[in-house]
């Protein structure tokens, strides 16, 4: 009996799980899709009158879930703002996405699209590339009665903050981490690998200008690189230029030492002498170990 009950439950569940009810038709080409494209072209062109001509007299405007009922005339100011505030403004499909028109049996016709807004904010110089997901409902006269915007707003926060003068931490001209960087440089010049390695976290990463932003090496590769330097060059010296800065960033919590040097050495075999200007950025963890190091130097000196 128990087996029969279980079997009946499975059959009932399976039937309900795979039941389908058609509630409309989806179109990849539709007159309302054409209207939304023409509407955004008017927006891009700064034609506020044409832009609002696609809307009903009053509409629901929903931005990231926040809804307001407004007269369509308010959209004029939005179009004017974007035209005045941005240059090279463009609105295109955020490919490979493309718009859909959905004619519901109950609920009328809606269009949804995925767009990419690009351009340059004139006052701040910030380049934007903002993905928008929009939904539009239409009435029987083919006018938009509601528009729903979904978009990341972090770039707008950056634009709003660009006109402010905001502190983001402290700068130190003397700091224990500056001393550690100087001692690490001395250990490198003295070819003291054991002392040098001790300044770094075992999970430290290393990068330079020859590498991509997301590319780095680990401690084992760094150790091999230092050993290669010691075998290839004699009289390795690093002369400090200017003075280092130790900066504790409030945003992100990083503490970084920036320092400037001239790297000098002589090739063991060719006796060729090198003098290479470089900038070194050393990021420290909470244990006071270097967790990340980046070198800015030109490799042309070694060609």
The per-residue pLDDT for range 28-85, each reduced to its tens digit, is 999 999 999 999 999 999 999 999 999 999 999 999 999 999 999 999 999 999 999 9
pLDDT single digits (tens) 283-300: 999 999 999 999 999 877
Give the per-residue pLDDT at 301.
Answer: 66
The secondary element (H helix, E strand) that includes residue 235 is strand 233-249
Q: Say how far residue 262 (Cα) sits from the centre of its chain.
A: 34
Instruction: Tell me the pLDDT band of 19, cut-offs 50, 70 and 90.
Output: confident
Q: What is the DSSP letter of 164?
A: S
* Closest to 199 (Cα-Cα) out of 177, 216, 221: 177
227 pLDDT higher than 80? yes
Question: How far apart, in Å, are the Cα atoms of 282 and each of 27, 196, 255, 261?
Answer: 56, 14, 8, 13
Give the per-residue pLDDT at 250.
Answer: 95
* Closest to 285 (Cα-Cα) out of 243, 245, 254: 254
Give the per-residue pLDDT at 1.
Answer: 47
Q: State the average pLDDT for the chain.
A: 92
Distance from C-alpha of 133 to C-alpha of 190, rounded to nearest angstrom: 59
Distance from C-alpha of 283 to C-alpha of 248, rounded to nearest angstrom: 10
DSSP string, 36-80: HHHHHHHHHHT-HHHHHTTEEEEEEEEETTEEEEEETTHHHHHHH
> What tokens appear for 96 in the block?
């490979």
21 pLDDT higher than 60? yes
23 pLDDT higher than 90? no
> What tokens appear for 43 in the block?
């927006």
168 pLDDT higher than 80? yes
Distance from C-alpha of 205 to C-alpha of 185, rounded to nearest angstrom: 17
Give the per-residue pLDDT at 107.
Answer: 82
Question: Average pLDDT of 185-196?
Answer: 98
């Amino acid at each position: 009996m128990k087996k029969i009950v279980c079997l009946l439950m499975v059959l009932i569940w399976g039937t309900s799980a795979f039941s389908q009810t058609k509630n409309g038709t989806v179109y990849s080409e539709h007159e309302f899709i054409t209207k939304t494209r023409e509407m955004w072209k008017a927006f891009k062109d700064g034609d506020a009158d044409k832009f609002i001509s696609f809307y009903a007299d009053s509409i629901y405007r929903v931005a990231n879930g926040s809804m307001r009922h407004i007269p369509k005339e308010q959209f004029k100011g939005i179009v004017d703002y974007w035209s005045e505030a941005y240059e090279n403004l463009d609105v295109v499909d955020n490919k490979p996405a493309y718009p859909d028109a959905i004619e519901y049996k109950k609920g009328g016709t809606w269009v949804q699209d995925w767009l990419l807004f690009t351009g340059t904010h004139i006052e701040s110089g910030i380049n934007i590339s903002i993905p928008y997901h929009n939904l539009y409902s239409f009435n029987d006269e083919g006018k938009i009665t509601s528009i729903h915007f979904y978009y990341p707003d972090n770039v707008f926060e950056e634009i709003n903050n660009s006109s402010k003068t905001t502190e983001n931490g402290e700068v130190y001209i003397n700091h224990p981490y500056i001393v550690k960087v100087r001692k690490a440089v001395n250990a490198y010049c003295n070819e003291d690998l054991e002392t040098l390695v001790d300044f770094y976290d075992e999970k430290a990463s290393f990068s330079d200008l020859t590498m991509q932003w997301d590319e780095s090496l680990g401690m084992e590769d760094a150790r091999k690189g230092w050993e290669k330097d010691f075998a290839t060059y004699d009289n390795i010296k690093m002369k400090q230029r200017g003075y280092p800065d130790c900066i504790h960033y409030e945003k992100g919590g990083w503490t970084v030492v920036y320092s400037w040097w001239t790297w000098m050495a002589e090739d063991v075999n060719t006796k060729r002498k090198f003098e290479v200007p470089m900038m070194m950025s050393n990021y420290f963890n909470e244990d006071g170990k270097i967790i990340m190091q980046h070198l800015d130097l030109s490799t042309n000196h070694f060609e």
